[in-house]
Chains A and B, each alone.
Chain A
Amino acid sequence: MSEPVLELDNLSVQFNLKRGVLRAIDSVSFSVDKGETFGLVGESGSGKSVTARTIMRLIPQPPGEIASGTVRFQGRDLYEMSDDEIREIRGQNIAMVFQEPMNALNPVFTVGSQIGDALRTNMGMSKSEARERTIEMLQLVGIPSPSARIDNYVHEFSGGMRQRVMLAMALSCDPTFLIADEPTTALDVTIQAVILELITSMIERFDMSLLFITHNLGVVAHACDKIGVMYASHLVEMGTKDEIFANPQHPYTKGLLRSIPRLDVQEKFLTPIDGTVCNMMDPPRGCKFNPRCSEAMDICREQIPEFRELAPGHFAACHLHDQPTV
Chain B
Amino acid sequence: MSEPLLEVKGLVKHFTLNGDLVSRIAGKTQTVKAVDGVSFYIHQGETLGLVGESGCGKSTTGRLITRLIEPTAGDINLRGEDMLAFSPKRMRETRKDVQLVFQDPYSSLNPRKTIMDILSRPLEVHNLADNWHEKRERVLELLNLVGMGSEHIDRYPHEFSGGQRQRIAIARALSVTPDLVIGDEPVSALDVSIQAQILNLLRELQEKFSLTYLFIAHDLAVIRHISDRVAVMYVGKIVESGPVETIFNEPLHPYTKALLAAVPEADPKKPPPRLTLEGEVATPIDPPPGCRLNGRCPLATSICGEVEPPLLEVATNHQVACHNL
Question: Chain A interface (Cβ within 8 Å of chain B)?
Answer: 43-44, 158, 160-161, 188-194, 196-197, 215-219, 221-223, 241-242, 245, 255-257, 259-264, 266-274, 276-277
Alpha-carbon distance between A43 and B196 when the two chains are bound, in angstroms: 13
Contacts of B224 in A (CB 8 A): 261-263, 266
- Contact yes or no, A218 B53, CB < 8 A: no
Alpha-carbon distance between A168 and B191 when the two chains are bound, in angstroms: 30
- Contact yes or no, A190 B259, CB < 8 A: yes
Alpha-carbon distance between A266 and B228 when the two chains are bound, in angstroms: 10
Query: Residue A192 contacts which of B192, B248, B262, B270 (CB distance < 8 angstroms)?
Result: B262
- Contact yes or no, B265 A221, CB < 8 A: yes
- Contact yes or no, B218 A221, CB < 8 A: no
A218, chain B: closest CB distance, angstroms: 4
B296, chain A: closest CB distance, angstroms: 10
Q: Is B45's beta carbon under 8 Å from chain A?
A: no
The 10 closest A-B pairs by CB, nearest first: A272-B196, A218-B264, A261-B225, A259-B196, A43-B191, A193-B262, A273-B193, A270-B196, A188-B53, A193-B273
Q: Is B126's beta carbon under 8 Å from chain A?
A: no
Alpha-carbon distance between A44 and B195 when the two chains are bound, in angstroms: 13
Alpha-carbon distance between A267 and B266 when the two chains are bound, in angstroms: 16
Q: In chain B, what residue has the closest Cβ to A200?
A: B272
Contacts of B273 in A (CB 8 A): 189, 192-193, 196-197, 218, 222
Query: Known contacts being A242-B268, A263-B263, A266-B244, is A189 close to B218, with CB within 8 Å?
Result: yes
Alpha-carbon distance between A273 and B194 when the two chains are bound, in angstroms: 7
Q: In chain A, what residue has the closest Cβ to B189?
A: A44
Contacts of B193 in A (CB 8 A): 43, 255-256, 259, 272-273
Q: In chain A, what residue has the closest Cβ to B270?
A: A221
Alpha-carbon distance between A123 and B127 when the two chains are bound, in angstroms: 71
Contacts of B192 in A (CB 8 A): 43, 215, 217, 256, 259-260
Question: Chain B interface (Cβ within 8 Å of chain A)?
Answer: 53-54, 161, 163-164, 191-197, 199-200, 203, 218-222, 224-226, 244-245, 248, 258-268, 270, 272-275, 277, 280-281
Contacts of A194 in B (CB 8 A): 275
Alpha-carbon distance between A190 and B200 when the two chains are bound, in angstroms: 27
Q: In chain B, what residue has the closest Cβ to A224?
A: B268
Contacts of B274 in A (CB 8 A): 193, 197
- Contact yes or no, A189 B191, CB < 8 A: no
Contacts of B266 in A (CB 8 A): 217-218, 221, 245, 257, 260
Alpha-carbon distance between A205 and B222 when the two chains are bound, in angstroms: 35
Pick from B163, B199, B258, B268 the residue with the most CB of A within 10 Å. Answer: B268
B45, chain A: closest CB distance, angstroms: 15
Contacts of A272 in B (CB 8 A): 193-197, 200
Contacts of B259 in A (CB 8 A): 189-190
Q: In chain B, what residue has the closest Cβ to A259?
A: B196
Query: Residue A196 contacts which of B53, B161, B196, B264 (CB distance < 8 angstroms)?
Result: B264
Alpha-carbon distance between A261 and B263 when the two chains are bound, in angstroms: 12
Contacts of A269 in B (CB 8 A): 200, 203
Q: In chain B, what residue has the closest Cβ to A188?
A: B53
- Contact yes or no, B203 A218, CB < 8 A: no
Contacts of B163 in A (CB 8 A): 276
Query: Residue B275 contacts which of A193, A221, A261, A262 (CB distance < 8 angstroms)?
Result: A193
- Contact yes or no, B191 A263, CB < 8 A: no
Contacts of A276 in B (CB 8 A): 161, 163-164, 194
24 pairs of residues in contact across A and B, judged by CB atoms under 8 Å: A158-B280, A158-B281, A188-B218, A189-B53, A189-B218, A190-B258, A192-B262, A192-B264, A217-B192, A218-B263, A218-B273, A219-B264, A221-B264, A221-B265, A222-B264, A222-B272, A242-B268, A255-B193, A261-B196, A261-B224, A263-B265, A270-B196, A270-B199, A272-B196
Contacts of A191 in B (CB 8 A): 275, 280
A150, chain B: closest CB distance, angstroms: 19
- Contact yes or no, B264 A160, CB < 8 A: no
- Contact yes or no, B267 A245, CB < 8 A: yes
A74, chain B: closest CB distance, angstroms: 29
A53, chain B: closest CB distance, angstroms: 20
Alpha-carbon distance between A44 and B192 when the two chains are bound, in angstroms: 10
Query: Residue B264 contacts which of A44, A216, A241, A270 (CB distance < 8 angstroms)?
Result: A216
